[in-house]
Amino acid sequence: MTDATMTEFALPRPRAATADHPVARALLTATAMFFIALFLLLPLITVFAQALKNGVSTALAAIVEPDALSAVKMTLIAAGIAVPLNVVFGLAASWAISKFDFRGKSFLITLIDLPFSVSPVISGLVYVLLFGMMGWFGPWLREHDIKIIFAIPGIVLATMFVTFPFVARELIPLMSDQGRDEEEAATSLGASGLQTFRRVTLPNIKWGLLYGVLLCNARAMGEFGAVSVVSGHIRGQTNTMPLHIEVLYNDYQFVAAFAVASLLALLALVTLTVKTFLEWHYADEIAAVHKH
Amino acid sequence: MSSAGALALPSTSWRTRSALPGFGLSLGFTIFYLSTVVLIPLAALIIRPWELGLSGFVAEVTAPRVLAALKLSFGAAAVGAVLNTVFGLIVAWVLVRYRFPGKRLVDALVDLPFALPTAVAGIALSALYAPNGWLGAPLMWLGVKAAYTPLGVVIALTFIGLPFVVRTLQPVLNDLSRDHEEAAATLGASRLQTFRRVVFPALLPALITGSALAFARAVGEYGSVIFIAGNLPLRSEIAPLLIIIKLEEFDYAGAASVGVVMLGVSFLILLILNGLQALMAKRR
Amino acid sequence: MSLVVESVAKRFDRFPALKGVSFSAPKGCFLALLGPSGSGKTTLLRILGGLEFAEAGRVKFEDGDWLALPARERRAGFVFQQYALFRHMTVAKNIAFGLEVRGRRHRPPRGEISRRVEELLSLVQLDGLGKRYPSQLSGGQRQRVALARALAIEPRMLLLDEPFGALDAKVRKELRMWLRHIHDKTGITTVFVTHDQEEAMELADLVAILNQGSIEQIGSPAEIRRSPASYFVADFIDSPIRPSAEQVVPFPETRAARH
C-alpha cells in the first residue's frame, strides 16, 4: 500500500512517557542546585575566602608558624600509624570473612561496623575511661609513668577507633563478590598462601583497597571530636591540625584558623577528586554498593 | 591440610573446611584487633555508669541540663534528617534523572561533608551564619538569629547528613526499571500519580535507611556543631559537648552515663527502623 | 482497515531501528510482529504504545491520529516483557491501578472497581489471589496479572512485548492458547512481539516478519508458509519452500505490504 520511499513526515517530538514536565524539571533542578550551593558550596568557599582575607602571605605565615607545623606533624603521625594498622586489619578481616564459612560471620560484620554508629566524642571517651587518670588502668599507668591520655598514644588510639571500619567495609563486599574460585585455583596449582594473596587476591582488590585507604586517611587526618577528648589540647605538643584550628578560632585568630583549615579543605578536595576518579574508572573493581 | 584431617569423620564444627590457607591467622588477628580497639573500650563505657547505682544513673541522666542537651541532640538531628529526606530526594532525583552541565561536579560535591573535616565545616558554618556573616547578616535583617541558637545546630546537622540520603537513594533510583513508570503511563496515570503511587513506594525503604543513617550520624556529631551552636547550657548545648564538660570535671561516671544513654537511644531507633524496613521488605 | 501504519521510521543515535515501516490490519485482528533481535519489532510496539516516538511516518487507528495521543491517553494496554508489576501493591491493587488513577469524573465507584477486579481475576483464572503480592506468584501467574491489569482499562488496543519470553516451555504452550482464547472473547485489536516463529504462526491471524528495521513480509500464517517472500523469511520460518525468483526483491528493499 505505502512504501518507505514515500514522503516522510517530520513529526513533532512529544514528551516521553517517563519524562517530567519541563516546569517540574526546572523547579526540581533549581531547588537541588540552591540547596547544594547553600549547604555545600558556600561553606567551602568561605574557608578559602576567610583564609585569604588579608592576603596570601598572612595565610602562609599562619601555616609555617611552629605550633601549626607541630600540629601538622601530629596529624601525620596519627594517620601514619592508624591507617596502616587499619589496612592490615581490613585485609585480615575481609580474608577471613570472604574466603571462609564459619558461624557468627554476620555478627562479626555488625561488630566491625560498630564504630560508625558511635559518636566521635564517645570514641574518645572510652579510652579516657580505660587509660585516664581515674580510668581502669589509670593508677597502674601512673605508677609506671606511662602516658596514654593527653599524649600521642591516646590520639593514635582514638584515630584508630573512628577509622576502624573504613578499609574492612570496603573490602568485605568486594572480596565476597569475587568469590574464592581464583584463590582455590592458585592453591591447587601449588601457590603458597602468601603467593596466592599477593599474586591473585591483591591485584583483584587493589582499586577497592586504595579507595578504602583514601577514605580512611581523610577521616584520620580530619578527626576532631574523638581526638579532642583525649588530647588535652596542649599547644605545640598534642594538638593535631583540627585541634589547632579550634584553639586559633577560640582565640579570635580567625585568619590563622581558616588558613590551617584551608589546608585540610584542600586535602578534602584532593580526596574527593581521587575518589571520583576511582569511581569513574574502576567502578566494577570497587565494591558495588557504597554506604558510608 | 594434614592427612589426619582427611581421615576424620564429618564433624559438626562451627566452620566449613576449606582448601585455602590463613583462616586461623586472619580471623585470630581480626578478633584480637577488634577486641582491643573497639570491644573492650566500649565495655568500659557500658560498665562505668553502674558505679553510681541504678538510682544514681537515673538521677544523672535526668538532670535538667543533661535532659536539655539530649533533647537538643536528638531533636535537632531529627529535624536535620527530615530536611535531608526532602532535599536529598530532590538532589538524588535531579542527579540520576536529568542531564545538565556540571552534573558530575555537583555529584562529587555531595560527598563534601564526608571528606571535609568536621572542625573545618564547623568554623566555616559559624563564620557564614554569624550575625555579620554572608548568610547571617541577611538572616538577622529578616529577624532570624541562626548562629548560637538551636537553629544553628540544625543547620550544621543538615550539612553533615545530606550525603547519607543522596548516596543511599542514588543506586536504588538508578536500578529502578523504567518499565514500571511506562506501565503506569500506559494505564493512564499522570506523572504525579506515577511518582506518588509507583516510584515513591519503591524508594521508601532506601529513603528511610538514608534518613536513619543521617540521623544516627547527626545525633553524635560534635565538630561541625560546637562552633555554630554557642553552647549555652539548657539552650544550645549538645549532648556530646556535655560529655566533654563532665570529663573535664573528672566526672567519669557522669560522662559515661550520658554516653550510654546516647548509644542506647540511637540503637533503639535504628532497631525500630530496621524492623520497619524488614516489614516493608517482606512484601517484595 | 482499523490500524494503518505508514512509513514509520526511527533511529537510535545513528542506527536505524525502523526504516519506514508500512502495513495495515483489520479491526479485532491478532497481529504478530516476528523477527530476530534487533529487527525493530519491539521499537515498533513501543511506538504503538506511545513509549517511543517515530521520527517520521503516521499511524491511524480507528480513523484517529494515533501518534498524536500521549501514552496515558491512548488506552493501549501494554504488557511488558518482564511484566513490570508494581511490587509494593497487591495483585488486586495492580489490576485496579489504571482505574484508580482516572480523574474523579471518569473513575468508577469503589464497589464497581473491586467488582471489575474480581471479574478480571476470574477471567485470567486467578480467583482468590487478589490479596497476594507479585513476589508470591509464579512466572505464569504474574504474566496473567499483567494481562489483567492491561485489560482493566478497557484498552482500545492490546500490546504485548514477548509475552511468553520469560516462561518455561510448558507454561508457554498453555498460556499461548489461553491468550488466543481471551482475544477471541474480547475482540480487542492485539499486537504482540515474538522471536519464536512457531508461536507467531500458531497464534496470529496476521504475521509481520521484520528484519533490520523493515518488514520482509506480512500475511496470514498460511500465506507465508505457502509462499515466503524472501530467503530471509523462508529461513526464519524454517520453510522447505524457497521463494520463487520473481517474488524476490533485492535485499534490503524486500517488502510486501498487504491489505
Residue A290 has pLDDT above 50, yes or no: no
Question: Which one of A20, A99, A261 has the shortest CB-CB distance to B123?
Answer: A261
Between chains, do B118 and A126 touch, taking CB under 8 Å as contact? no
The answer to whether position B5 is within a domain reads no
Peptide bond into C252 cis (omega under 30): yes
Between chains, do C133 and B177 touch, taking CB under 8 Å as contact? no
Q: State how far the Cα of A89 lies from the Cα of A93, in Å rounded to an integer.
A: 6
Strands C15-25, C3-12: pairing kind:
antiparallel
Between chains, do B179 and C84 touch, taking CB under 8 Å as contact? yes
Confidence of residue A291 (pLDDT cuts 50, 70, 90): very low
B-chain residues within 8 Å CB-CB of A164? 37-38
* Nearest chain C residue (CA) to A17: C51
The answer to whether position B44 is within a domain reads yes
Chain A 12-71, residues with CB within 8 Å of chain C CB atoms: 13-17
Tell whether B131 and B203 lie within a shared domain: yes
* pLDDT at residue A1 in the model: 40
* pLDDT at residue A280 in the model: 87
* Residue with more model confidence, A9 or B161: B161
Q: Which of A94-108, A277-291, B56-70, C142-156 has the lowest mean pLDDT?
A: A277-291
Residue C258 has pLDDT above 50, yes or no: no
The answer to whether position B97 is within a domain reads yes
What's the whole-number mean pLDDT along residues C130-143?
Answer: 92
What does the pLDDT look like over B86-120, one tens digit per residue?
999 999 999 999 999 999 999 999 999 999 999 99
What does the pLDDT look like over A198-253, one tens digit per residue?
888 998 899 999 999 999 999 999 999 999 999 877 777 789 999 999 999 999 99
Q: State how far the Cα of C95 lies from the Cα of C146, in Å rounded to an integer.
A: 8
Q: Please tell me the pTM assigned to this model.
A: 0.84
Q: Does residue C24 belong to the interface with chain A, where contact is any CB pair within 8 Å?
A: yes
Tell whether B162 and B25 lie within a shared domain: no
Residue C174 in 3-state DSSP? helix
CB burial of residue B12 (10 Å; 0-12, 13-18, 19+): exposed
The answer to whether position B170 is within a domain reads yes
Between chains, do C74 and B182 touch, taking CB under 8 Å as contact? no
Q: How many CB pairs under 8 A join A and C?
A: 56
Closest of C180, C30, C46, C63 to residue B186, by C-alpha: C46
Tell whether B91 and B37 lie within a shared domain: no
Q: What is the DSSP string of C68-127?
A: GS-HHHH-EEEE-TT----TTS-HHHHHHHHHHTS-TTTPPPHHHHHHHHHHHHHHTT-T
* pLDDT at residue B270 in the model: 77
The answer to whether position B57 is within a domain reads no
Average confidence score pLDDT of chain B: 89
Tell whether B43 and B100 lie within a shared domain: no
CATH number for position B269: 1.10.3720.10
C-chain residues within 8 Å CB-CB of A19? none
Tell whether B44 and B74 lie within a shared domain: no
Residue B3 has pLDDT above 60, yes or no: no
> Chains contacting B with at least 3 CB pairs below 8 Å?
A, C
Tell whether B87 and B183 lie within a shared domain: yes
Nearest-neighbour CA in chain B from A6: distance (Å): 31
Tell whether B149 and B83 lie within a shared domain: yes
The answer to whether position B174 is within a domain reads yes
The answer to whether position B56 is within a domain reads no
What does the pLDDT look like over A148-203, one tens digit per residue?
999 999 999 999 999 999 999 999 999 998 888 888 888 877 788 888 888 889 98
Cβ proximity of B243 and A126 under 8 Å: no
C-alpha pair distances (Å), B267 with each of A55, B213, B264: 48, 11, 5
* pLDDT at residue C102 in the model: 87
Identify residue B193 by its one-letter amino acid code: Q
The answer to whether position B73 is within a domain reads yes
* Nearest chain C residue (CA) to A13: C53
Residue A288 has pLDDT above 50, yes or no: no
Tell me which of B28, B51, B74 is where a domain ends.
B51
Q: State how far the Cα of C1 lies from the Cα of A273, in Å rounded to an integer.
A: 61
Tell whether B40 and B155 lie within a shared domain: no
* pLDDT at residue B1 in the model: 42
The residue of B13, B14, B25, B30 whose CB has the most chain A CBs within 10 angstroms, and thus the best one to mutate to test that interface, is B30
- The residues that bridge with B119 in the sheet, in sequence order, are none
* pLDDT at residue A9 in the model: 46
Q: Which domain holds residue B85?
A: 63-283
Our count of domains for chain B comes to 2
Tell whether B91 and B162 lie within a shared domain: yes
Residue A142 has pLDDT above 50, yes or no: yes
| Percentage of the residues of chain B whose pLDDT score is greater than 90 | 73
Closest of B167, B190, B191, B204 to residue B284, by C-alpha: B204
What is the 8-class DSSP label of residue C11? E
Tell whether B148 and B270 lie within a shared domain: yes
Identify residue C18 by its one-letter amino acid code: L
Between chains, do B190 and C72 touch, taking CB under 8 Å as contact? yes
* Residue with more model confidence, C117 or C63: C117
Place of cell 514477548: C162
Place of cell 494481562: C147
Question: Which one of B187, B190, B283 has the shortest CB-CB distance to C98?
Answer: B187
Q: State how far the Cα of A8 lies from the Cα of C9, in Å rounded to an integer.
A: 8
Tell whether B115 and B40 lie within a shared domain: no
Helices and strands, number each (H, E), in chain B: 16, 0
Confidence of residue A12 (pLDDT cuts 50, 70, 90): low
Tell whether B30 and B104 lie within a shared domain: no
Cβ proximity of B241 and B222 under 8 Å: yes
Nearest-neighbour CA in chain C from A284: distance (Å): 26
What is the 8-class DSSP label of residue B197? I
Residue B32 has pLDDT above 80, yes or no: yes
What is the 8-class DSSP label of residue C17? E
Confidence of residue B47 (pLDDT cuts 50, 70, 90): very high
